[in-house]
Structure 1
Amino acid sequence: MTPEQMKDASLLELFRLEAEAQTQALGRGLLVLEREPRRADELEACMRAAHSLKGAARIVGLDSAVQVAHVMEECLVAAQEGRLLLTPEHIDALLAGTDILLHVAATDAARAEQASQAVPGMVQRLQELLGTPAPKPAPKPSVALPVEPEPQVAPKAQPVAEAQPSSEPKPVADAPRRRASEEGSERVLRVTAERLNQLLDLSSKALVDSQRLQPQLAALQRLKRLQASASRLLDGTRDVAGNSLDPQAQAFLADARRLVGECQQVLGEQIAELDAFAWNAGQRAQNLYDSALACRMRPFADVLGGQARMVRDLGRELGKSVRLEVDGVSTQVDREVLEKLEAPLTHLLRNAVDHGIESPEARRLAGKPEQGTIRLLARHHAGMLVLDLRDDGAGVDLERLRQGVVRRGLATEETAARLSEDELLAFLFLPGFSLREQVTEVSGRGVGLDAVQHMVRQLRGGVRMEQRAGQGTHFHVEVPLTLSVVRSLVVEIGGEAYAFPLAHIERMRSLAREEIVQVEGRQQFWHEDRHVGLVAAHQLLQRPEGSTPKGDIPLVLLRERDNIYGVAVERFIGERTLVVMPLDARLGKVRDVSAGALLDDGTPVLILDVEDMLRSVEKLLASGRLERIDGQGRQSAGQRKRVLVVDDSLTVRELQRKLLLGRGYEVAVAVDGMDGWNALRSEPFDLLITDIDMPRMDGIELVELVRRDARLQGLPVMVVSYKDREEDRRRGLDAGADYYLAKASFHDEALLDAVADLIGGA
């Protein structure tokens, strides 16, 4: 909230800000006091927070909040003075009091009313734990009926007698300023997420634009070299001619040498200036982008609000003693990633408390401390946020899990007996799978780990689970530090650039053609002691096959649990950090694509949705229509090239078919455009030859459909028609035909030569 907004805000709104900050401090301190009930600094901090809230509540006239804060303060003062030793029951009541203080002034009227109704019971509970007798008339207010004359205290008057100037802020509006000073004495301004996204988008485009100066510099350097060559040629001409040139020619030659020299000097100066400008512009653009990105980054601690409290409360509800230890709270993460991490992190923590940590009796029998520990570590690694969550519980009962797999019909007893530990643990991530026999408020519905995996994958990350019997469970989560940029492997597919996010790639490698084998009608290769299926990337993306890579086949290996596939691409362009540009929402979900980006030179690139691609691979395998790939990534040699002839004239069809068959091509025929379109969609062809005037669908419509289809748009097309006017020829070529041949003038060799020009020999 800006200072201008603070001036216009009501006292109640300012109290909400104060309550939010102080209750967070109370919550953290009380969890520490539960472990170390005599820790003086935490007792002092919690007492002051309760005292500040009491004074702030008085100013805004919230009597119920005054009562709760007052009795909480008395409890903490008694602990400070040694008259009371805080127990978990005291902490329960004090934490419940912080909840009431947070909600009593909520904008939601129902929530505020509910909190106010809970005040009398909460005050009585704390007084009973404190051992305080029934309140007597005294200078301090009674929790049931305040004795102090509240109406005599004006909102802007001096604080009441209990509020010490040294411990309570003058106005409540100072709370945001105090929080700003605690964060490094920097002014804190609230900016909408949309503004930050716009700033990051503009800065990323500025960064890309700054890189476009490099090709211009390279072109100027090439021009400078050409001018140097021209100067040398002029010098050579002068040396060869000697004195044989007349004076006028010698003057022209001297002027030409002088002008070339001046051009070289000017060009050299401009290159130096442009080089300096490009370097400075690149640095400024990079700094601008880094600063814009930093505005979106927040410490990992922001996602932990209430998690320690949730772990503690859930443990007590289940009759367990559990504490959460966190390391790496200052690790910087994108705000959007933090927001989306809260739900899966909560699932994992609740899972650890419910399924992992044993009861105090079971831990005592196992020789463990009665209090269980969950440790959460956040760190950066290779441009990713890595979360390691470990508990010191019992781990996973693998035999019980194996029986659960068989009982749910997911595997036979023989198959389940052969499953490895990793394969068994993978079942825990299936939708609806749970080891709980009965559904409770905490678990039993089988949505925990399935939801975690789904949400982590939405963040373009991954989750892995390990366990050690009797020693605990370990969840390893990796997600990008920011969704605004993604580290990717850029490859060429169908002559265009595509990007695989590195987080979803098993590895990249080159495959020698002699390593490809045929297994059950599919092409596979040997990798890590297993056969791996081979799929052409251009077929997956329904793109025409691009240039043929020479030598080994570039492969990207993708893994989903135990399934691994090799995707053949045309070449590796390199590893790049790409600024993510979301696709227009009007496009909906584009199959196999998650977003767009620009390379350093401004070339557009599509960022692939690897999970979607894996589903496309499975569908392609199920269809049985895999293209065969040889050692150079093309269809296997030895197969004759196929030509589709579309013409409504039986005579013309047969003439063309016989000519092409005689040259060694494989030929299929269609009687009109509709018949030809159905044939193209059901079978692969290397060339389409079509007439124009046909029933149901003419040749122009057929060519336009072919050019609009992603899978067929690279198919060579020849039009053979009786219409030989220039406008007819132009109409066919404009529709997308590669060759136009008039029937009136064509002969055998003309047709065959045109076919050979388009697709080569049979």
Structure 2
Amino acid sequence: MQLADDITSEDLKVFLEEAEEQLQLLDDEVIRLEKETTEDGLAGIFRAAHTLKGSSAMLGYTAMTEVAHAMESLLDKLRNHEVSVTSEVVDALLHSLDVLRVLTDELIDEQGVEVDFASLVAELEACMGIEASDSSDAGSSASIAITDENLASISQALDAGETVYQLNASVTGDEMFASIRLFQLTTELSDGARLIVANPTLDDIQAEANGKSFTAIVGSDKSIDDLTQIAIGVQDIGEVSVVPFDADSAKATQAAAPAAAAAPAQAASAAGGASDSPKKAVAQTIRIDVDRLDNLMNLIGELVIDRTRLQQIGRSLAAKYKADDLIESLGKTSSHVVKVVNDLQEDFMKVRMLPVGTVFSSFPRMMRDLSKSLDKPIDLQIEGGDTEIDRTVIEKISDPLVHMLRNALDHGLESKEDRVAAGKPAEGIIKLSAFHEQNHIVLTVQDDGAGIHPEKIKASFVKKGLITEETASRLTDSEAVDLIWMAGASTKEQATEVSGRGVGMDIVKSNIEAINGFVEVESTPGEGSIFTARLPLTLATVQSILVETDGTLCAVPLAYVLEAVKLSPSEISTISGREVFRLREDVIPLISLSEATGLTDGKRNMEDELHVVVARVGDRLAGFAVDELNEPQEIVVKSLGEYVGGARGVSGASILGDGRVVLIMDIPTLLSGVGMRSRKSSIADEKPMLESELSEIAELEREIKEIQELREQKAARTSEQAEDAA
């Protein structure tokens, strides 16, 4: 890898940032090109390739310049309708894009890579249907015209003690790279000498209005050999000649200069008047290192803590000194500070937000390649790419989405033959979407495939020894479908490059739950499946309801809180040894929060009323018994893992304004083992369990009835005895 000598690390950084944007645009548009060819789409791809070619040439990165130019040539023929868009053309463009990414990685890693340029160029040329370029003009020289301005520059060079030379050169090899080589030659001569005039000009070269010949007048204190070495040092430049320039002959032809000088402009106009030197708009954005953003977020987090403390102090002082002017003034100042901190926090959270489309953009190419590999044609539909989410969350969702999409294509969709036999189109549909829902972002992956068959799932898991036949027989349909989240789960008989090794969906579940999200699946056999992941908008702060349990202050994220209730002992029942209570149509398990987190054994006074936080994750419900409910509050999340390791049911901690430490509850983890499915959403699936529970309830009712009958009989006997005594 060789770059221009004057390239700085900052130049390289800017190039890489811009190159990534252009590569992503190419990735998106080339995939779209296969399904819908538009003039605007082709123009956008062409501009991206042209920009990459020009910027890499300025960098002196010849390999990338060559690939971008070859790609640009094919795109130019597509624009001019000389070549039609086919699967082979898209493949060639994608292969070129792969090579460009490899070359970009070479700049980052600073390690050489081997790329088969010849095969790539041959593939592109085959798509263009062209033969090897004619090189008959390799030895010819371009004419040059001298203007008054040129003569003035020549005089300045001579006055400075320089010698004025005429340099003639030509490009050898393929003409499609001629503009690149001449651009490099012009740049090298400008660095090593006074470039007075050249034909073709730099504008001609950038507009690709050039042949393979080059002539220039230069002033330099270098020797003929030195200038010759500069020229032949450029790749594919051959037959270089450098001779002293005859200024007197130039003056004699001065009268013809105006017409000749107009020729380059006419040539550029005939070529479309293109330039790589457009006027740049004033920058409206700046790039900021993410470490600085993280540090600012920490500082704002401290302000949020102090904001809450100011509010608490203000309320306390106002209650204690009701008629004090200073306290009133302090209250107003405190309120203003609170407002400013709120606005600062809100605006900074927006700064950290990124469109989820930055993750989605890599999936069309992945799914296209996988579709061809599996021979399953698909229509990948993406919606909600502009939905924004915190940068820290975006970093965590790429892998889970990759697994869900690959699963939808490999497991969800049937083969072409099976789809047609089932009366479906041969092309399957996979839909990836994102949208906001309260304090969450919801991501869904939906397919119109075969769906998940509960009996097939149970049979496969029994066969693999993951569950027993007895366990399988007790599972409802929903519970059977949920087995796909188990580690080692797979319904594939044989492992392939894509699936069958029992890894994937368990990673999806664990990764999403690790960022306080949850994932669920709905499936209808024969119609398809929908995988839904609900994620917090940010991991930096969380709206919570504060509770106390056995002297420990805990925060339950409001996103999981259905409601808070107060239960009397008479409202609590026991089914199968487990405490439950009824909330409208639902029978909900009751768990002590301190017991669930391992803080205590959970024993309590059975005569006391209970504060209960009813939590929901998906269609699972549970009520967590606590000692005291406090006000909702926004808290700043601090990780505990680095210091105390992982703790079941605890996702982090925070510090309140008064200095107290609060533990943040990991509700999805707590509910995964004890939560009961909502009766409203899955009565049919829960029928076996309901029958068991209803049987126990009926038994209790029978016993109660017997007791009531005994009491009535006793009361009757007592009454009879009283009458007899009278």
**Scaled by the length of structure 1, what TM-score is found?**
0.66
Q: How far did residue 569 of structure 1 move?
A: 0.8
Seen in structure 2, the aligned counterparts of structure 1 residues 138 and 161 have a Cα distance that, compared at 3 Å, is farther
Q: Which moved more, 1:353-362 or 1:335-344?
A: 353-362
The reply on whether 1:315 has 2:371 as its aligned counterpart is yes
Aligned residue number for residue 330 of structure 1:
386
- Select the residue among 190, 199, 211 that pairs with 2:288: 190
Aligned residue number for residue 444 of structure 2:
388
What is the letter of the counterpart of residue 129 of structure 2?
Answer: G
Seen in structure 2, the aligned counterparts of structure 1 residues 494 and 538 have a Cα distance that, compared at 3 Å, is farther
CA distance in 2, matches of 1:287, 1:459: 26
Aligned residue number for residue 136 of structure 1:
134
Q: How far did residue 447 of structure 1 move?
A: 1.0
Aligned residue number for residue 468 of structure 1:
524
Report the 3-state secondary structure (helix = DSSP H, G, I; strand = E; otherwise coil) of the residue aligned with 1:212: helix
Q: How far did residue 386 of structure 1 move?
A: 0.9
Aligned residue number for residue 208 of structure 1:
305
CA distance in 1, matches of 2:638, 2:345: 14
Q: How far did residue 142 of structure 1 move?
A: 4.7
Aligned residue number for residue 512 of structure 1:
568
Seen in structure 2, the aligned counterparts of structure 1 residues 7 and 78 have a Cα distance that, compared at 3 Å, is closer
Q: How far did residue 551 of structure 1 move?
A: 6.0
Report the 3-state secondary structure (helix = DSSP H, G, I; strand = E; otherwise coil) of the residue aligned with 2:662: strand
Aligned 8 A contact 2:69 2:177 in 1: no
- Select the residue among 485, 488, 499 that pairs with 1:432: 488
CA distance in 2, matches of 1:12, 1:201: 31
Q: How far did residue 558 of structure 1 move?
A: 5.6
CA distance in 2, matches of 1:366, 1:323: 18
Aligned residue number for residue 276 of structure 2:
169
Aligned residue number for residue 124 of structure 2:
126
What is the letter of the counterpart of residue 122 of structure 1?
Answer: L
Aligned residue number for residue 277 of structure 1:
333
CA distance in 1, matches of 2:588, 2:315: 47
What is the letter of the counterpart of residue 92 of structure 1?
Answer: D
Aligned 8 A contact 1:51 1:70 in 2: yes
Seen in structure 2, the aligned counterparts of structure 1 residues 521 and 434 have a Cα distance that, compared at 3 Å, is closer
The reply on whether 1:31 has 2:138 as its aligned counterpart is no
CA distance in 1, matches of 2:513, 2:104: 38
Q: How far did residue 76 of structure 1 move?
A: 1.7
Aligned residue number for residue 22 of structure 2:
22
What is the letter of the counterpart of residue 187 of structure 1?
Answer: T
Q: How far did residue 162 of structure 1 move?
A: 4.2
Seen in structure 2, the aligned counterparts of structure 1 residues 89 and 366 have a Cα distance that, compared at 3 Å, is farther
Aligned residue number for residue 144 of structure 2:
none
Aligned residue number for residue 667 of structure 1:
none
Q: How far did residue 585 of structure 1 move?
A: 2.5
Aligned 8 A contact 2:594 2:602 in 1: no
The reply on whether 1:542 has 2:599 as its aligned counterpart is yes
Seen in structure 2, the aligned counterparts of structure 1 residues 94 and 209 have a Cα distance that, compared at 3 Å, is same
- Between the two structures, name the one with larger relative contact order (CA 8 Å, sep ≥ 6): 2
Aligned residue number for residue 185 of structure 2:
152
Q: How far did residue 452 of structure 1 move?
A: 0.2
The reply on whether 1:595 has 2:652 as its aligned counterpart is yes
Aligned residue number for residue 500 of structure 1:
556
What is the letter of the counterpart of residue 152 of structure 1?
Answer: L
CA distance in 2, matches of 1:278, 1:109: 50
- Select the residue among 454, 460, 485 that pairs with 2:541: 485
CA distance in 2, matches of 1:588, 1:442: 34
Report the 3-state secondary structure (helix = DSSP H, G, I; strand = E; otherwise coil) of the residue aligned with 1:106: helix
Seen in structure 2, the aligned counterparts of structure 1 residues 18 and 221 have a Cα distance that, compared at 3 Å, is closer
Seen in structure 2, the aligned counterparts of structure 1 residues 584 and 353 have a Cα distance that, compared at 3 Å, is closer
Report the 3-state secondary structure (helix = DSSP H, G, I; strand = E; otherwise coil) of the residue aligned with 2:132: coil
Aligned residue number for residue 45 of structure 1:
44
Q: How far did residue 463 of structure 1 move?
A: 0.3
CA distance in 1, matches of 2:397, 2:472: 33
Aligned 8 A contact 1:52 1:168 in 2: no
Aligned 8 A contact 1:360 1:370 in 2: yes
What is the letter of the counterpart of residue 30 of structure 2?
Answer: L
What is the letter of the counterpart of residue 169 of structure 1?
Answer: D
**Deviation per residue, 1:590-622 (Å, 9 max, x gap):** 45433222446654322123466569989xxxx
**Scaled by the length of structure 2, what TM-score is found?**
0.69
Seen in structure 2, the aligned counterparts of structure 1 residues 399 and 138 have a Cα distance that, compared at 3 Å, is farther
Q: How far did residue 408 of structure 1 move?
A: 2.2
Task: Tell me the matched-pair count.
Answer: 560
The 5-angstrom pairing of residues 485-634 of structure 1 reads 485-504=541-560, 508-518=564-574, 523-525=579-581, 532=589, 534-535=591-592, 537=594, 540-542=597-599, 552-557=609-614, 566-583=623-640, 585-590=642-647, 592-599=649-656, 603-610=660-667, 613=670
Aligned 8 A contact 1:547 1:570 in 2: no
Give structure 2 stretches of 5+ with no counterpart: 1-5, 138-170, 191-200, 208-267, 676-726
**Deviation per residue, 1:421-467 (Å, 9 max, x gap):** 31111111100111111111111111111110010000110001011
Report the 3-state secondary structure (helix = DSSP H, G, I; strand = E; otherwise coil) of the residue aligned with 2:125: helix
Seen in structure 2, the aligned counterparts of structure 1 residues 207 and 502 have a Cα distance that, compared at 3 Å, is closer
Aligned residue number for residue 360 of structure 1:
416
**Deviation per residue, 1:170-209 (Å, 9 max, x gap):** 49xx9xx87xx7xxx523122232x222212222222332
Q: How far did residue 295 of structure 1 move?
A: 2.5
Q: Which moved more, 1:125-134 or 1:584-593?
A: 584-593
Aligned residue number for residue 55 of structure 1:
54
Computed over aligned residues only, the root mean square deviation of the Cα atoms, in angstroms, reads: 3.6
**Deviation per residue, 1:510-562 (Å, 9 max, x gap):** 33202334556654545666573543626854359999899631223567899
Q: How far did residue 498 of structure 1 move?
A: 0.8
Aligned residue number for residue 343 of structure 2:
287
Report the 3-state secondary structure (helix = DSSP H, G, I; strand = E; otherwise coil) of the residue aligned with 1:437: coil
Seen in structure 2, the aligned counterparts of structure 1 residues 476 and 591 have a Cα distance that, compared at 3 Å, is closer
What is the letter of the counterpart of residue 483 of structure 2?
Answer: F
**Deviation per residue, 1:25-59 (Å, 9 max, x gap):** 1111111210113x111111111222222233333
CA distance in 2, matches of 1:410, 1:506: 34
CA distance in 2, matches of 1:540, 1:482: 24
Aligned 8 A contact 2:545 2:632 in 1: yes
Aligned residue number for residue 65 of structure 1:
64
Aligned 8 A contact 2:518 2:618 in 1: no
Q: Which moved more, 1:593-602 or 1:198-207?
A: 593-602
Q: How far did residue 337 of structure 1 move?
A: 0.5
- Select the residue among 348, 351, 360 that pairs with 2:407: 351
Aligned 8 A contact 1:494 1:544 in 2: no
Aligned 8 A contact 1:461 1:504 in 2: no
The 5-angstrom pairing of residues 107-118 of structure 1 reads 107=106, 113-114=112-113, 116-118=114-116
Q: How far did residue 477 of structure 1 move?
A: 0.5
What is the letter of the counterpart of residue 625 of structure 2?
Answer: A
Aligned 8 A contact 2:655 2:661 in 1: yes
Q: How far did residue 83 of structure 1 move?
A: 2.1
The reply on whether 1:445 has 2:501 as its aligned counterpart is yes
**Deviation per residue, 1:665-712 (Å, 9 max, x gap):** xxxxxxxxxxxxxxxxxxxxxxxxxxxxxxxxxxxxxxxxxxxxxxxx
Aligned 8 A contact 1:433 1:447 in 2: yes
The reply on whether 1:376 has 2:432 as its aligned counterpart is yes
Aligned 8 A contact 1:494 1:546 in 2: no
CA distance in 1, matches of 2:289, 2:108: 27
Aligned residue number for residue 166 of structure 2:
none
Aligned 8 A contact 1:60 1:155 in 2: no
Report the 3-state secondary structure (helix = DSSP H, G, I; strand = E; otherwise coil) of the residue aligned with 1:154: helix
CA distance in 2, matches of 1:400, 1:591: 33
Give structure 1 stretches of 5+ with no counterpart: 1-5, 226-263, 619-762
CA distance in 1, matches of 2:289, 2:20: 19
Report the 3-state secondary structure (helix = DSSP H, G, I; strand = E; otherwise coil) of the residue aligned with 1:316: helix
